[in-house]
């Protein structure tokens, strides 16, 4: 008969405790005596113990004793947790432990049968193939971190028809001839973050939601995602307000306000029904409009916004924002611990990954993208921010708005988006109330001027002073082109029924491609029916001058005659950290510094709080072992055999950097 979970766990603990005790006892019986001279040995009749080197003892302690002791401590800690959880979780803990640990421990030799040190120094990794691969995403859980999910190469080509994020995946496919993803700890947490960003409005009607449990992380996340959509619906009514455009362009102030609201049960009580939420956020926006100084341009961070607004009144409850100036993101503590730790706020509408070249930023982005696509999400991916700001694509200037369009780049994006999401586009119905409000360059009818005539006090000129230097011939050409540039895609497709109709027309007509991209993204940002993930790799390139020259920017000392990405249609659409505007989904981004020498990009460089970003530092040793084993099994690394010491040395030399590791594998640098 199968043992009960608790009994099995106790027996397992006892077995490994005894094993640790035997191993430790055997080790300490071996003392580092020095050999006595042979003459003294004969005269005394005492046989001197065999001399043992201190270094060898330390190695033996590390490889034999410590693992056994660690196992005993781990079991003891699990046992303490075991007594505090309910039976369902208890059974889950037991099964997870058995799946991951017991199998490995059962393969270890009995401590009593350990050979002499001389025979054990080579301690090579077992050359039988390690179980690296999982069957599918459904097998994935925290216990399986370090495993690989094999995916179809045709799926890769379909999802990334022209380009994929970063060099990492391209190199892996090129060398190993297959498409697989290694699940890292950060990757798993990112997928959990993506999966938890869906909208479930019924949460406020949930009978078990009470004053005692509303602050728990599960309820917090679901309520946050519901309020995100309702708050946005109200903000859209003020789309032409430049103050709001500046304050809520990124999600920082937006997320901070929602987080503070969700910390008060009195306010949650006022958000039970859609009608109550609509009235609540109307009151919130009206108060913000009233209290924010129209001349104040520095309320782009929560600390400044809260100091300016001070208090908000909702029925008979007064929300004092000044209490949160020093802690604008009071999320549940467990959320911080279970997500990315103290380096991240715990939950928000965006994720930004940054770190050195080869640290795994694009790899994590790829894991999230493929997970979303395989679990029914629509994915909108910008695989390279650098390409859109380089000279790769021809540009055309929209004379009325001043924005630079890249028709060929827009066509490629539409084609790749269509290939990746074909299954959803056939049934995605267009919301005609949102359609037809963008011009050819992507400016909404209610948006402020995208290229305002700002005055530079330092240099003493207005931005549009460049018009003084245009010739009559150039002005005549602009007037002749005005009618062509005034066209919209609505003239060609007045009432599209499905989203693929807009995409197909943009692909076949470069002139309307940019307009089509904006119409598609507007539908995605406002859908309730589909889950949407927007992913951008190399977003930091949207915050640097582009490579596209223009005399209009010669007077700007920072731009030095190059067009800024915020005056380019495609980068302008994807450059903001605006995941809060996605009604049913989220946005994740990553920096890319492969063409920048010794560049250290951080969130503060793009006016984001430091805790909005996750810094990656390459693979830890356990992940590195899995990565190397994958390289050997797939033929990517022509290395027949290597010792544990060699592997650890390899990790130390590369610091777990994926790019450096692959570079070494390519040139067959280490083959021992």
Instruction: Round to the nearest angstrom and report the end-to-end CA distance of the chain.
Output: 49
pLDDT at 416: 94
Tell me the per-residue pLDDT of 508-526, one tens digit each, with 9 for 90 and over.
Answer: 999 999 999 999 999 999 9
pLDDT at 438 over 80: yes
The least confident of 59-63, 82-86, 616-620 is: 59-63
DSSP per position, 36-95 = PPHHHHHHH-PPPPPP--HHHHHHHIIIIIHHHHHHHHHHHHHHHHHTTS-HHHHHHHHH
User: For residues 481 and 548, which has the higher predicted lDDT (pLDDT)?
Assistant: 548
For residue 541, which of 396, 388, 351, 362 has the smallest C-alpha distance? 388
pLDDT at 78 over 80: no
pLDDT at 668 over 50: yes
Rounded Cα distance, 160 and 153, in Å: 11
Length, in residues, of the chain: 672
Among 158-172, 204-218, 367-381, 628-642, the range of highest mean pLDDT: 367-381
Task: Assign 25 a pLDDT band (cuts: 50, 70, 90).
Answer: very low
pLDDT at 181: 85
Q: What is the CA radius of gyration of the chain?
A: 30
Q: Are strands 148-151 and 179-182 parallel, antiparallel or unpaired?
A: antiparallel
Q: Tokens 């071996």 map to which residue?
A: 30
Q: Tokens 């223009």 map to which residue?
A: 550
Q: Do 204 and 223 touch, CB atoms closer than 8 A? A: yes
pLDDT at 112 over 60: no
3-state secondary structure of 647: helix
pLDDT at 205: 74
Enter the DSSP assignment of 108.
S
pLDDT at 1: 40
User: For residues 152 and 127, which has the higher predicted lDDT (pLDDT)?
Assistant: 152
pLDDT at 124: 42
Rounded Cα distance, 310 and 293, in Å: 13
The backbone region for 262, taken as left when phi is positive above 0, alpha when psi lies in -120 to 50, beta otherwise, is alpha
The least confident of 550-564, 593-607, 650-664 is: 593-607
The least confident of 85-99, 225-239, 613-627, 647-661 is: 85-99
pLDDT at 98: 63
pTM score of the predicted model: 0.78
User: For residues 185 and 479, which has the higher predicted lDDT (pLDDT)?
Assistant: 185
Among 11-25, 278-292, 455-469, 636-650, the range of highest mean pLDDT: 278-292
Task: Assign 334 a pLDDT band (cuts: 50, 70, 90).
Answer: confident
Average pLDDT, the chain: 80
Q: Do 535 and 365 touch, CB atoms closer than 8 A? A: yes
3-state secondary structure of 399: coil
Q: What is the mean pLDDT of residues 324-349?
A: 84
Task: Assign 2 a pLDDT band (cuts: 50, 70, 90).
Answer: very low
pLDDT at 36: 35
Positive or negative, the CA dihedral 497, 500, 503, 505 is negative
pLDDT at 243: 82
pLDDT at 63: 65
pLDDT at 40 over 80: no
Rounded Cα distance, 425 and 507, in Å: 14
Q: Do 619 and 184 touch, CB atoms closer than 8 A? A: yes
Tell me the per-residue pLDDT of 587-613, one tens digit each, with 9 for 90 and over.
Answer: 999 998 877 777 888 888 888 888 888
Task: Give residue limits of the domains in the chain.
Answer: 1-49, 64-90, 203-335, 350-616
pLDDT at 12: 52
Rounded Cα distance, 564 and 578, in Å: 19
Rounded Cα distance, 341 and 324, in Å: 20
pLDDT at 108: 46
The least confident of 226-235, 260-269, 476-485, 557-566 is: 476-485
Q: What is the mean pLDDT of residues 647-657?
A: 86
**Residue 272: φ, ψ to 5°:** -65, -45
pLDDT at 47 over 60: no
User: For residues 16 and 314, which has the higher predicted lDDT (pLDDT)?
Assistant: 314
Rounded Cα distance, 402 and 624, in Å: 49
| 3-state SS, one letter per residue, for 512-526 | HHHHHHHHHHHHHHC
User: For residues 257 and 26, which has the higher predicted lDDT (pLDDT)?
Assistant: 257
Provide the 10 A C-beta neighbour count for residue 366: 28
pLDDT at 102 over 70: no
Rounded Cα distance, 231 and 239, in Å: 13
User: For residues 547 and 3, which has the higher predicted lDDT (pLDDT)?
Assistant: 547
- Structure-block tokens of residue 549: 């020259």
**Residue 288: φ, ψ to 5°:** -65, -40
What does the angle CA 262 – CA 267 – CA 268 come to, to the nearest 5 degrees?
65
Q: What percent of the chain has pLDDT over 70?
A: 79
User: For residues 412 and 471, which has the higher predicted lDDT (pLDDT)?
Assistant: 412
Positive or negative, the CA dihedral 354, 356, 357, 363 is negative
Q: Are strands 455-456 and 461-462 parallel, antiparallel or unpaired?
A: antiparallel
Beta partners for residue 404, in sequence order: 397, 568
Mention every residue, 6+ apart, whose C-beta is less than 8 A from residue 259.
224, 328, 329, 330, 331, 347
pLDDT at 540 over 80: yes
Distances (CA, A) of 347 to 197, 218, 654: 10, 11, 32
62-83 residues labelled b (16+ CB within 10 A) or e (exposed): eebbeebeebbeebeebeeebe
The least confident of 191-200, 406-415, 614-623 is: 191-200
Q: Do 659 and 358 touch, CB atoms closer than 8 A? A: yes
Tell me the per-residue pLDDT of 130-142, one tens digit each, with 9 for 90 and over.
Answer: 678 877 766 667 7
Tell me the per-residue pLDDT of 161-192, one tens digit each, with 9 for 90 and over.
Answer: 888 887 766 677 777 777 888 888 888 888 88
Task: Assign 301 a pLDDT band (cuts: 50, 70, 90).
Answer: confident
pLDDT at 435 over 90: yes
Rounded Cα distance, 450 and 568, in Å: 10
Rounded Cα distance, 445 and 440, in Å: 11
Q: Do 355 and 600 touch, CB atoms closer than 8 A? A: no
Mention every residue, 6+ apart, whose C-beta is less than 8 A from residue 302.
252, 253, 256, 257, 324, 325, 328, 329
What does the angle CA 495 – CA 438 – CA 470 come to, to the nearest 5 degrees?
140
């Amino acid at each position: 008969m199968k043992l009960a979970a608790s009994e099995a766990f106790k027996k397992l603990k006892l077995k490994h405790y005894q094993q640790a005790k035997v191993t430790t006892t055997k080790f300490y019986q071996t003392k580092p005596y020095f050999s006595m001279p042979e003459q003294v040995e004969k005269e005394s009749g005492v046989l001197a113990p065999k001399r043992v080197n201190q270094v060898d003892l330390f190695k033996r302690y590390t490889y034999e004793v410590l693992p056994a002791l660690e196992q005993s401590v781990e079991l003891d800690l699990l046992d303490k947790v075991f007594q505090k959880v309910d039976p369902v979780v208890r059974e889950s803990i037991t099964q997870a432990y058995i799946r991951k640990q017991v199998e490995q421990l059962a393969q270890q030799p009995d401590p009593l049968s350990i050979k002499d040190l001389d025979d054990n120094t080579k301690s090579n990794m077992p050359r039988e193939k390690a179980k690296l691969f999982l069957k599918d995403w459904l097998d994935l859980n925290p216990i399986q971190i370090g495993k690989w999910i094999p995916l179809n190469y045709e799926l890769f080509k379909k999802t990334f028809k022209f380009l994929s994020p970063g060099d990492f995946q391209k190199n892996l496919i090129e060398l190993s001839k297959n498409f697989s993803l290694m699940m890292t700890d950060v990757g798993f947490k990112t997928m959990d973050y993506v999966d938890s960003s869906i909208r479930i409005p019924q949460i406020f009607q949930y009978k078990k939601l009470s004053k005692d449990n509303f602050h728990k992380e599960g309820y917090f996340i679901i309520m946050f995602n519901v309020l995100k959509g309702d708050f946005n619906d109200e903000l859209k009514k003020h789309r032409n307000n430049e103050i709001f455009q500046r304050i809520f362009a990124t999600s920082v102030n937006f997320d901070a306000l929602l987080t503070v609201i969700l910390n008060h049960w009195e306010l949650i009580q006022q958000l039970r029904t859609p009608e109550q939420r609509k009235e609540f956020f109307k009151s919130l926006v009206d108060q913000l409009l009233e209290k924010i100084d129209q001349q104040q341009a520095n309320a782009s961070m929560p600390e400044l916004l809260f100091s300016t607004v001070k208090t908000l009144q909702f029925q008979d409850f007064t929300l004092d924002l000044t209490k949160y100036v020093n802690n604008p993101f009071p999320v549940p503590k467990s959320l911080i611990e279970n997500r990315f730790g103290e380096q991240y706020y715990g939950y928000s509408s965006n994720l930004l990954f940054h770190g050195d070249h080869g640290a795994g930023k694009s790899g994590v982005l790829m894991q999230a993208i493929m997970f979303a696509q395989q679990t029914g999400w629509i994915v909108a991916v910008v695989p390279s921010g650098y390409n859109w700001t380089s000279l790769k694509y021809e540009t055309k200037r929209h004379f009325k708005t001043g924005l630079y369009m890249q028709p060929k780049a827009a066509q490629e994006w539409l084609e790749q988006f269509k290939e990746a999401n074909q299954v959803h586009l056939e049934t995605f119905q267009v919301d005609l109330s949102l359609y037809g409000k963008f011009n050819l360059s992507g400016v909404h009818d209610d948006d402020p001027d995208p290229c305002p005539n700002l005055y530079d006090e330092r240099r003493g000129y207005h931005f549009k002073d460049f018009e003084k230097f245009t010739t009559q011939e150039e002005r005549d050409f602009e007037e002749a082109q005005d009618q062509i540039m005034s066209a919209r895609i609505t003239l060609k497709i007045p009432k599209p029924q499905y989203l693929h109709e807009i995409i197909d027309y943009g692909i076949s007509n470069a002139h309307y491609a940019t307009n089509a991209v904006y119409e598609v993204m507007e539908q995605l940002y406002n859908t309730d029916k589909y889950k949407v993930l927007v992913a951008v790799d190399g977003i930091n390139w949207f915050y640097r001058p582009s490579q596209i020259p223009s005399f209009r920017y010669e007077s700007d000392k920072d731009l030095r005659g190059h067009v800024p990405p915020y005056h380019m249609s495609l980068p302008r659409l994807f450059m903001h950290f605006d995941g809060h505007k996605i009604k049913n989904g989220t946005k994740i981004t990553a920096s890319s510094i492969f063409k920048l020498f010794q560049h250290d990009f951080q969130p503060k460089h793009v006016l984001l709080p430091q805790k909005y970003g996750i810094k990656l530092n390459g693979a830890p040793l356990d992940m590195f072992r899995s990565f190397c084993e994958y390289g050997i099994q797939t033929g990517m690394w022509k290395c027949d055999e290597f010792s544990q010491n060699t592997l650890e040395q390899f990790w130390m030399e590369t610091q777990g950097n994926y790019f450096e590791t692959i570079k070494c594998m390519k040139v067959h640098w280490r083959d021992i």
